[in-house]
Amino acid sequence: MRKHQVESEDVVIAAVENDVCTLLKECIRRLPVTVDDVESYTRTDAVLGKVISCVNTEKWPKANQKLAYFQNRCKTLSVVGGCLMSGERVVIPPELR
Tens digit of each residue's pLDDT (9 = 90 or more) over 66-97: 999 999 999 999 998 899 989 888 899 999 88
Assign 3-class secondary structure to 15-80. HHHHHHHHHHHHHHHCCCCCHHHHHHHHHHCHHHHHHHHHHHHCCCCCCCHHHHHHHCCHHHEEEE
pLDDT at 8: 64
- State the total domains in the chain: 1
Range(s) of the domain holding residue 67: 2-96
Q: What is the DSSP letter of 86?
A: E
pTM above 0.95, yes or no: no
